[in-house]
Chains A and B, each alone.
Chain A
Amino acid sequence: MTAEALDATGFAGPHGAKPKQLSWGRVGIYAFLVIAALFFLVPLYVMLVTSLKSMPEVREAHIFNLPREPTIQPWIDAMFNACTGRNCTGLSPGFWNSVKITVPSVIVSIIIASINGYALSFWKYKGAEFFFNLLVFGAFVPYQVVIYPIIIGMSKVHLFGTLPGIIIVHTIFGMPLLTILFRNFYSSLPIEIFKAARIDGAGFWQTFFKVMLPMSVPITVVAVILQVTGIWNDFLFGLVFAGTENIPMTLQLNNMVKTTQGTIQYDVNMAATMLTALVPLIIYFVSGKWFVRGIAAGAVKG
């Protein structure tokens, strides 16, 4: 070994940490991800900047430019003044309708589904699996298929086009997924907890309320997220079942945007769209990881 082969530290050949190099591969990965991120962000950005512009500026058609004179007037108009046909109330009635529909629907559907999941996991009676399999099947049935018989049934009991009616509809169509969700959760708990409760003498409801329910916080959070966004974003059931008194925000938004008289107020329309998306967006950003978990949990069927 010659003296030249040794460097200052006295080692020959590679030694110590391998020198880091920024490979083209890494650059490519980040380039792909950034471009993809831009694709996902553009609509939100465009909606946001447009909603803060005044109409003359919108007509210049520079959709990417930031507003020269930002104004929140379109947002105020969208919420309180914009017209749907001759009805100039903005989206606020739709907003309150959506609240009135979403809150009870979420509560009722989750209560029912959690009892279902609990019973299916621990108290299987003869025939329980049959009904559960029907529900699983229901999770795959396109809503449009069974809407008509439900309309007929609802009319028969005079609930068609009423608030309780649409709450029932949301409960019905939320049941398959939520029941699967809760059943999978309770089935994943150690069965020994249930056995211990039986030996302690707790019955169906006592075990549910005192032992199982307090353990169900995580899955309930997931279910709430799933249901709030799902019901808030619903369009079809609102269209068919809500009736003119209770049209939800999404439906009112669509009507507002589609039935403008005279010049189309794009800035107000964009503000209205943002407003409608706001509730689920806030839930998404606040809940973060839980939302992802909800998707994964909801996606794992059967």
Chain B
Amino acid sequence: MQTSVSVKNLTLAFGAVKVLEGLNLDVGTGEFLVLLGPSGCGKSTLLNCLAGLLEISEGQIFISGKNVTWEEPKDRGIGMVFQSYALYPQMTVERNLSFGLRVSGMPREEIEKRVARASEILQIQPLLKRKPAELSGGQRQRVAIGRALVRDVDVFLFDEPLSNLDAKLRSDLRVEIKRLHQRLKNTMIYVTHDQIEAMTLADRIAIMRNGVIQQLDTPHAVYNNPVNLFVAGFIGSPTMNFLNGRIDGSTFSIDALNIPLGNYKFEKDGVGKLDGILGVRPEHIAVGEDAKKMPFQLDSEIEIVEPMGSDTVGWTKVAGQSVTFRCSSDIPLAPGQKITIGFDPARGSLFDAQSGVRV
């Protein structure tokens, strides 16, 4: 894979506070990389460093093979889309799109050509003469994307571009960004705290916490093989169930309850005995007839039922610890009802209780 954006040993400090420290990241050409994490994890900060809007303290940044560590934002070959759109309120859409090109002194015909192309791609031709105040939120965000588009650059940076929109528009624009990526095949780096956006858009997701990338992998791997408790808990809704117990060879025991681990693939052999946490996704827990097919089964009592429409989330207890499961809404459930639940420990994740790292 050819590298489009490369971050080497990047450190950013405000005084004594290090927001990012020794961070390394490589993004392939044409890749859609999502930086995901809770607020304050440093994902937007990293993006601002890439854009050159924040001056880094140590390290290097390469974009399209060129060292841009000292370059001005405009010279980095990037376009950026902001959460608040950041359109210039006094300029028409057309002038918003062309402002950067005019500043750089590009010939008029070339500017017109690029604006025409961008507005055609984003279907905002009818809006060109309007001012941002006369546009809806979705239209504004399209113009903001267009502003990155006209720059004709290799790398697009998105800073939570959909967070200011309502749920319906958000999912519409999400699809549109995906379509845009498939058409343009540019490198896109996209910051969000919304895991659905991350899962649906990303080729790879970088999950960040406290300025450190926890896991950098495909959505599938991040979801199924989280490297630590933080990633496991952050991805997935409802969140993964965590059962505290003890790992002893191929058995996970919670007090008197023994769960055989079966074909669980340990990260390395010979884990031995240690306090562990077994993580099981609610959607991997089966109830009723389906549970009978599972390697591990247990009789339990339902405490709370949350019907979600397409499916139902139920709350129950396993060895005294709270567990949620997700099942088809066709299965009738009621609080107090006795049911059988079952799951395959091999699909779960085991963590060292002390370090929180996957074992």
Determine which of B75, B88, B104 lies in contact with A193 in the assembled complex, contact meaning CB atoms within 8 Å. Answer: B88
Give chain A residues whose Cβ lies under 8 Å from the Cβ of B159: 192
Residues from 151 to 193 in A contacting B, C-beta threshold 8 Å? 190, 192-193
Determine which of A190, A199, A202 lies in contact with B79 in the assembled complex, contact meaning CB atoms within 8 Å. Answer: A199
- B82 touching A201, Cβ below 8 Å: no
Residues from 63 to 91 in B contacting A, C-beta threshold 8 Å? 72-75, 78-80, 82-91
Chain B contact-residue range equals 20 to 34
The interface bits of chain A over 50-78 (1 if a CB of B lies within 8 angstroms of the residue's CB, else 0) are 00000000000000000000000000000
- A199 touching B51, Cβ below 8 Å: yes
The interface bits of chain A over 208-246 (1 if a CB of B lies within 8 angstroms of the residue's CB, else 0) are 001100110000000000000000000000000000000
* A255: interface (CB < 8 Å): no
- B51 touching A195, Cβ below 8 Å: yes
Give chain A residues whose Cβ lies under 8 Å from the Cβ of B62: none
* A206: interface (CB < 8 Å): yes
Give chain B residues whose Cβ lies under 8 Å from the Cβ of A190: 82, 84, 86
- B99 touching A195, Cβ below 8 Å: no
- A192 touching B147, Cβ below 8 Å: no
* B167: interface (CB < 8 Å): no
In the bound complex, how far is the Cα of B78 from the Cα of A195, in angstroms?
Answer: 13
In the complex, the chain B residue whose C-beta lies closest to that of A196 is B86
Give the distance to chain B from A215, nearest Cβ to Cβ, in Å.
6
**A-B pairs with CB below 8 Å: how many?**
67
- B100 touching A200, Cβ below 8 Å: yes
Query: Count of A residues near B, CB < 8 Å?
Result: 16
Give chain A residues whose Cβ lies under 8 Å from the Cβ of B147: 196, 200
Give the distance to chain A from B56, nearest Cβ to Cβ, in Å.
16
In the bound complex, how far is the Cα of B74 from the Cα of A214, in angstroms?
Answer: 22
In the bound complex, how far is the Cα of B151 from the Cα of A193, in angstroms?
Answer: 17
Give chain B residues whose Cβ lies under 8 Å from the Cβ of A211: 88, 99
* A301: interface (CB < 8 Å): no
Residue picked from A190, A195, A199, A200, most chain B C-beta under 10 Å? A199
- A214 touching B90, Cβ below 8 Å: yes
* B103: interface (CB < 8 Å): yes
In the bound complex, how far is the Cα of B99 from the Cα of A206, in angstroms?
Answer: 11
In the bound complex, how far is the Cα of B88 from the Cα of A192, in angstroms?
Answer: 10
Give chain A residues whose Cβ lies under 8 Å from the Cβ of B48: 195
* B53: interface (CB < 8 Å): yes
* A198: interface (CB < 8 Å): yes
Given contacts A192-B83, A195-B53, list 4 more A-B pairs with CB under 8 A: A195-B86, A198-B53, A199-B79, A215-B88
* Complex A-B: 27 CB contacts under 8 Å: A190-B84, A192-B83, A192-B159, A193-B86, A193-B87, A193-B88, A195-B51, A196-B80, A196-B86, A196-B88, A197-B88, A198-B52, A198-B53, A199-B51, A199-B53, A199-B79, A200-B74, A200-B99, A201-B72, A201-B73, A201-B75, A201-B100, A201-B103, A202-B103, A206-B103, A210-B103, A211-B99
